[in-house]
Copies of this chain bind each other. A is one copy, B any other.
């Protein structure tokens, strides 16, 4: 999965990503619901707290999240589903956002998590030249995901080419309900799209049927089209429509709502970036600072358009009070960009260092998520039942 937005009419497809976003307009256009105070309070009451990504409205919209909470409170439960398409673009900071949210929901609600690794998608989309190449990236991505702390007995990570024996039959049931017109309209396919890529949406929908419970999908709003289609099809297969909790885009380092892209390395921090690279990238990041130190002392910075402040708010400052202090220190010219950036560099590098240690650890535990953990074992015996 990738995140992306098309310019102009705000139409959003998972295949392309450009331009600025009016999220209120997107809510209207996508027909999703705003994730408002009332629902957030309800989550907070049940979970005993709110993750900063929810509290700060980075997850800003949803579908049926209220029903998910009903299911939870009334004992029916729910499950979580997310994914990551491996490619030669390695994982960057923005990629971990849906996984962080998924992990949080797992921890607070004790729900099973299913993570799809479509190890054919980028090959079929002609972004990668061989399946062998993807294999290497798939393992790296899986380790990065495991390192984020999922429960090894409640999480199943599966590669399409490996798990296809279980996926294909339900995918056929799904595929019968999707014709080329619909696929073209939803995913932007055209005459040049390969027939494998055209089929792929069916495989992405199948995991929403892994349990006879409501699936909740934390994802970037660009992924919504897939699951809108799922919501059309699910009732016809007598299954739950997918619920979603939808995030904004993490800004790239080039400015507000620019894309973070692993293929343009200076827009993103990769999980594999060494400390010096992180430093160089953050020093060059677009900020809300003024042209000169004197001017900034006098007028203050503009954190609202600052990528550095954005990154603090999304991932690198959990403490609301401290975030607010940083905001005011910037606005009043007390905090200059150099200092603010240096602190961010430190936090990112410290996060990446800990992350890499957890990746090392994940190498030993990977078999649990793929084959041997409680849920993984169950899923290798799973059969789709109508």
Contacts and interface: CB of A to CB of B under 8 A. Distances in A.
Interface in A188-214: 189-199, 201-202
A204 to B, nearest CB: 12
Contact of A198 (B123, B172, B190, B195): B195
A161 to B, nearest CB: 5
Interface stretch (A60-68, A98-106, A178-186, A295-303): A178-186
A280 interface: no
A171 B192 contact: no
B181 A194 contact: no
A175 interface: yes
Nearest to A169: B161
Category for how many chain A residues contact B: 35 or more
A189 B183 CA distance: 14
A349 to B, nearest CB: 38
Interface string A144-169: 00000000000000001100110011
B172 A196 contact: yes
Contacts of A194: 175-180
A109 B120 CA distance: 38
Contacts of A191: 179-181, 184
B196 A201 contact: no
Contact of A196 (B124, B131, B176, B190): B176
A229 to B, nearest CB: 10
A184 B191 CA distance: 9
- Protomer copies: 2
Contacts of A47: none
A180 B195 contact: yes
A180 to B, nearest CB: 5
Contacts of A199: 175, 195-196, 198-199
B192 A181 contact: yes
Nearest to A189: B180
A354 interface: no
B180 A198 contact: yes
A193 B169 contact: no
Contact of A124 (B126, B176, B180): B176
Given A198-B195, A202-B196, A126 B181 contact: no
Nearest to A172: B120
B195 A126 contact: no
A293 interface: no
Nearest to A160: B168
Contacts of A196: 171-172, 175-176, 199, 202
Given A180-B190, A189-B180, A193-B180, A172 B202 contact: no
Of the candidates A172, A190, A192, the one having the most CB atoms from chain B within 10 angstroms of its own CB is: A172
A114 B123 CA distance: 28
Interface of A: 120, 123-124, 126, 131, 160-161, 164-165, 168-169, 171-173, 175-181, 183-184, 189-199, 201-202
Given A178-B194, A196-B199, A198-B199, 8 more contacts: A131-B173, A161-B169, A164-B164, A168-B168, A172-B196, A175-B194, A178-B195, A179-B193
28 contacts: A120-B168, A120-B172, A123-B172, A126-B176, A131-B172, A161-B168, A164-B165, A164-B168, A165-B165, A171-B196, A172-B196, A175-B197, A176-B194, A176-B196, A178-B194, A180-B180, A180-B190, A180-B192, A180-B194, A180-B195, A181-B191, A184-B191, A195-B199, A195-B202, A196-B199, A198-B198, A198-B199, A199-B199
